[in-house]
């Protein structure tokens, strides 16, 4: 009997392990963290069981104990089911996506896996006693053979028979019953007759109580829930409710509300789904479309409605969705729609026709990203399945945060490699750094989408009219800094991991985002006037400013150098809250020194300018984002000015240094301010030093004593270790020019930065904490200003 027993228990172990990811998916998704946690915990529990069971069996080689362990394993599975029905609905929502699967796996699957792991070494000990003439190697081999064959059988049985036909809860209870019955039979066979009856009665009562208990615990179908069952690939729930004041029917697959349908109109529910309409811009007479990811068939129905002569192929790997769509979501039987139960990527590889449009929506959420739909090879298969000038539209989920790693920037880079003619749209806002839907659009050809055309601006469809506002300018980012996804290397989960943590309020300053901007600026190279990175920086400031404020202007002129050569310079202004008449200037410079003249080791190398040149830019751009996304608008208008040429024109420490950009503004102030001067100005420079100390600059105190006192009052509250009450040496900077123009101005700077004008002024010398201190201070100060 022992080989048969370990065969059955081995099957039970693998059934529980296969079920485990399905059990956790409604709470934590099908991420690599879920899979890794389940496999790690089960293997760890089995290892402990092997170790403990081997030692215990040597001391107590008793068949009653062996079968009692099996019985205990069955009861532990019942306990698992109890935990699923009572505790997990609460606990699962409290734990994080990253660590939650590990904690839940330890609680749910360790006890039963440990007990079942004890059985194989115990069975070897008992079998050796029965077959004394056989060697320990043969006995061990026989037991592990049957245990492993049982595990293989349990794995195949789970995937091909049990999960497609029975619910998760029923399978768990079934496994518990099998183990409990086997343990009970084994114990009763070994017990004396006088104890056997009492034991069987006791076990029968326990099992009956458990079954009655579970029948009462089983969740009842709520009135608004129309369907709630396990599909082949996840739990499927269909329910009704309200959304935006309208009655709605929605489809939920595991953790994700993947689709929905209004019950009182044909309008699409979720904003990202409406971007299917972009296909009409490229293929106005669409004949064939392919939709990857069925959901509630919202997109296929929309395609059929918009293109009355078109045919739509729909591909989804979940076999039950089509019938559910016809029953609950108004999908009609029509020859114009063909449903395919298949993996979308495999379908693309075998597609025997060219599609005018492909719409991909296979990412149920951040918690369920199929890796093989993220790689270069997937996009290549998609473009090969498109007709000439056919369009690919994909719904992705991610964040435009510059912090590394970034799933969405890696995906954008990968997409652009395959679709050079591509566009990206942020469903909520291109300036938002939080998680949102990002629409990828790629055209298999040279046909462009002209955002300034009447076809866009005067279109009857509000989604198409809004495209210019939602368009993400790729010039704001350097995608090359993020890895490309391929079938050989697609670290999607690690790239998504930062998004699983609680997001900061979008109206707060984020020092980590500022560091990300500094990193990007340094990729442009030499940012001194005339340097290779100078024009790139100007283009970046315009693009980033446009995404934040939409009101960007430039003051451009040609500067003649002392050697007679000329160079184009530009001061760039972002106007926040332009309707406010009372305005404050927040300023910095964006150019750097062409030569790190204080670095004796590299006298001809360019100055990287992480602190001196990038820290001020990063602080003010992140401040602009925080101000525009805050819940309460400041009472004054804010003009963020990026000065050019602050470092002067020569690549050595000049005796006749002068800040070219701010001096030009002071001499031509009416270019930006034809009616009224700003009432005050704050100039920031070199503010990311890890040991940041901002002292009171003497000329600032003389020209704007009240402004200095007000800023330091806030600074002492937000960052007392940063804002020092002592005075620094007098410093000439951009604030000097503004003071001369009659605008009270203050300079915030730590001029004692040891790496200034050296090749070691790099991003590793910068601190997000220091940037946070300055950003918080400026944000609070601006918010406190009276109108």
pLDDT of residue 497: 73
Rounded average pLDDT over 438-442: 96
Among 472, 499, 526, identify where a domain stops. 499
Residues 651 and 765 in one domain: yes
pLDDT of residue 476: 93
pLDDT tens-digit readout, 134-155: 888 888 999 999 999 999 999 9
pLDDT of residue 189: 81
Q: Is residue 258 part of a domain?
A: no
Residues 280 and 179 in one domain: no
Residues 601 and 675 in one domain: yes
pLDDT of residue 186: 84
Compute the residue count for the chain: 787
Q: Is residue 558 part of a domain?
A: yes
CATH classification of the domain holding 92: 1.20.1250
Q: What percent of the chain is predicted at pLDDT more than 90?
A: 65
Residues 490 and 571 in one domain: no
pLDDT of residue 110: 95
Residues 509 and 637 in one domain: yes
What integer best gives the mean pLDDT of the chain? Answer: 89
Among 478, 499, 520, identify where a domain stops. 499
Domain span at residue 556 reads 504-784
pLDDT of residue 602: 57
Q: Which residue has the tokens 């016809």?
A: 326
pLDDT tens-digit readout, 233-276: 778 889 998 888 889 999 988 767 778 999 998 899 989 999 99
pLDDT of residue 367: 59
Rounded average pLDDT over 308-329: 94
Q: Is residue 406 part of a domain?
A: yes
Looking at the predicted structure, is the pLDDT value of residue 654 above 60? no
pLDDT tens-digit readout, 174-230: 998 899 888 888 888 877 776 677 666 777 777 677 666 656 655 544 558 899 887
Residues 66 and 112 in one domain: yes
567, 558 Cβ separation under 8 angstroms: yes
Q: Is residue 257 part of a domain?
A: no
**d(C-alpha 462, C-alpha 564), whole Å:** 53
Taken in order 384, 387, 388, 393, the sign of the CA dihedral is negative
Residues 106 and 184 in one domain: yes
Omega within 30 of 0 (cis) for the link into 405: yes
Which tokens go with 719? 């960052």
Residues 509 and 495 in one domain: no
Which tokens go with 524? 């442009």
Q: Is residue 251 part of a domain?
A: no
CATH classification of the domain holding 539: 3.40.630.10
DSSP 275-341: GGGGHHHH-TT--EEEEE--TTSHHHHHHHHH-TT-EEEEEES-TTHHHHHHHHS-PPP-TTEEEEE
Q: Is residue 275 part of a domain?
A: yes
pLDDT tens-digit readout, 558-603: 998 877 888 899 999 999 999 999 999 999 999 998 888 877 655 5
Which tokens go with 182? 């086997």
pLDDT of residue 601: 59
Residues 343 and 478 in one domain: yes
Confidence tier at 95 by pLDDT (50, 70, 90): confident
Q: Is residue 644 part of a domain?
A: yes
Confidence tier at 651 by pLDDT (50, 70, 90): very low
Looking at the predicted structure, is the pLDDT value of residue 525 above 80? yes
Looking at the predicted structure, is the pLDDT value of residue 727 above 50? yes
pLDDT tens-digit readout, 127-136: 888 887 788 8
pLDDT tens-digit readout, 270-295: 899 999 999 999 999 999 999 999 99
More confident residue, 43 or 369: 43
pLDDT of residue 652: 43
Rounded average pLDDT over 40-69: 93
Among 499, 532, 547, identify where a domain stops. 499
Q: Is residue 231 part of a domain?
A: no
771, 618 Cβ separation under 8 angstroms: yes
Residues 419 and 460 in one domain: yes
Looking at the predicted structure, is the pLDDT value of residue 516 above 50? yes
Alpha helices in 523-557 (DSSP H): 534-548
Separation of CA 386 from chain center: 29
How much is the pTM?
0.80
DSSP 342-396: S-HHHHHHH--S-EEEEEE----BTTB--GGGSSHHHHHHHHHTEEEEEEEEEEE
380, 418 Cβ separation under 8 angstroms: yes
Rounded average pLDDT over 316-335: 93
Residues 199 and 308 in one domain: no
pLDDT of residue 365: 60
pLDDT of residue 637: 96
Residue 63 CB coordination number (10 Å): 17
Which tokens go with 153? 């059988």
> How many domains does the chain contain in total?
3
At 240 the three-state DSSP class reads strand
pLDDT tens-digit readout, 302-311: 999 999 999 9
CATH classification of the domain holding 445: 3.40.50.150
Residues 200 and 114 in one domain: yes
Rounded average pLDDT over 384-398: 95
pLDDT of residue 591: 95
pLDDT of residue 179: 92
Looking at the predicted structure, is the pLDDT value of residue 396 above 90? yes
Q: Which residue has the tokens 């602190």?
A: 611
């Amino acid at each position: 009997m022992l080989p048969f027993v370990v065969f059955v228990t081995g099957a039970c172990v693998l059934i529980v392990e296969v079920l485990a990811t399905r059990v956790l998916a409604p709470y934590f998704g099908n991420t690599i963290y879920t899979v890794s946690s389940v496999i790690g915990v089960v293997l760890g529990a089995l290892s402990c069981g092997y170790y403990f069971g081997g030692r215990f069996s040597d001391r107590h080689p008793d068949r009653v104990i062996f079968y009692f362990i099996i019985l205990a394993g069955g009861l532990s599975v019942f306990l698992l089911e109890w935990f699923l029905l009572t505790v997990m609905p609460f606990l699962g929502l409290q734990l994080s996506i990253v660590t939650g699967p590990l904690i839940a796996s330890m609680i749910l699957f360790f006890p039963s896996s440990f007990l079942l792991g004890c059985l194989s070494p115990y069975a070897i000990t008992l079998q050796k006693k029965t077959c004394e003439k056989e060697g320990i190697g043969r006995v061990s081999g026989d037991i592990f053979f049957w245990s492993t064959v049982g595990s293989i059988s349990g794995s195949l049985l789970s995937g091909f028979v049990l999960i497609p036909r029975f619910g998760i809860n029923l399978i768990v209870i079934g496994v518990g019953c099998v183990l409990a019955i086997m343990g009970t039979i084994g114990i009763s066979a070994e017990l004396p007759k006088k104890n056997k009856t009492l034991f069987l009665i006791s076990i029968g009562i326990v099992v009956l109580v458990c079954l009655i208990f579970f029948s009462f615990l089983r969740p009842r179908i709520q009135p608004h829930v129309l369907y709630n069952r396990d599909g082949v690939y996840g739990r499927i729930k269909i329910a009704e409710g309200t959304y935006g004041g309208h009655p709605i029917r929605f489809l939920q697959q595991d953790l994700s509300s993947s689709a929905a349908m209004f019950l009182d109109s044909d309008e699409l529910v979720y904003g990202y789904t409406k971007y299917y309409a972009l296909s009409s811009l490229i293929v106005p007479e669409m004949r064939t479309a392919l939709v990857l990811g069925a959901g509630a068939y919202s997109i296929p129905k929309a395609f059929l409605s918009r293109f009355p002569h078109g045919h739509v192929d729909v591909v989804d790997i979940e076999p039950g969705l089509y019938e559910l769509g016809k029953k609950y979501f108004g999908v009609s039987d029509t020859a114009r729609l063909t449903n395919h139960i298949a993996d979308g990527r495999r379908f693309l590889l075998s597609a025997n026709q060219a599609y005018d449009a492909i719409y991909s929506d296979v990412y149920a959420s951040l918690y369920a990203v199929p890796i093989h739909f993220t790689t270069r090879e997937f996009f290549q298969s998609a473009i090969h399945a498109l007709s000439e000038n056919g369009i690919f539209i994909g719904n992705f989920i991610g964040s435009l945060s510059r912090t590394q790693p970034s799933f969405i920037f890696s995906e954008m880079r990968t997409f652009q490699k395959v679709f050079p003619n591509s566009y990206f749209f942020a469903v909520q806002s291109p300036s938002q750094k939080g998680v949102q839907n990002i629409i990828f659009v790629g055209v298999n050809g040279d046909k462009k989408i002209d955002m300034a055309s009447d076809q866009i601006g005067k279109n009857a469809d509000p989604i198409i009219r809004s495209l210019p506002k939602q368009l993400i300018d790729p010039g704001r980012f350097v995608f090359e800094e993020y890895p490309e996804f391929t079938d050989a290397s697609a670290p999607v989960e690690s790239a998504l991991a930062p998004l699983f943590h609680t997001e900061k309020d979008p109206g707060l300053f984020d020092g980590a985002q500022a560091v990300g901007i500094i990193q990007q600026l340094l990729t442009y190279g030499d940012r001194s006037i005339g340097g290779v990175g100078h024009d790139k920086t100007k283009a970046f400031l315009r693009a980033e400013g446009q995404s934040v404020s939409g009101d960007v202007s430039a003051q451009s002129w040609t500067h003649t150098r002392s050697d007679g050569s000329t160079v184009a310079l530009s001061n760039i202004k972002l106007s926040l809250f332009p309707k406010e008449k009372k305005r404050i200037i927040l300023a910095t410079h964006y150019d750097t020194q062409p030569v790190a003249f204080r670095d004796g080791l590299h006298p001809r190398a360019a100055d990287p300018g992480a602190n001196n040149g990038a820290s001020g830019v990063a602080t003010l751009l992140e401040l602009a984002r925080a101000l525009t996304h805050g819940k309460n608008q400041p009472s004054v208008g804010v003009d963020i000015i990026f000065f050019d040429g602050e470092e002067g024109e020569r690549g050595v420490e000049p005796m006749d240094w002068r800040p070219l950009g701010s001096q030009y503004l002071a001499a031509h102030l009416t270019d930006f301010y034809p009616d009224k001067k700003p009432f005050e100005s704050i100039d920031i420079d070199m503010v990311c030093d890890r040991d940041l100390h901002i002292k009171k600059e003497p000329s600032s105190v003389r020209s704007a004593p009240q402004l200095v006192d007000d800023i330091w009052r806030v600074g002492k509250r937000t960052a007392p270790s940063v804002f020092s009450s002592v005075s620094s040496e007098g410093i000439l900077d951009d604030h000097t020019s503004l003071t001369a123009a009659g605008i009270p101005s203050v300079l915030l700077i730590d001029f004692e930065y040891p790496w200034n004008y050296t090749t070691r002024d790099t991003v590793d010398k910068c601190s997000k904490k220091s940037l946070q201190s300055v950003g918080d201070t400026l944000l609070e100060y601006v918010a406190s200003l009276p109108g």
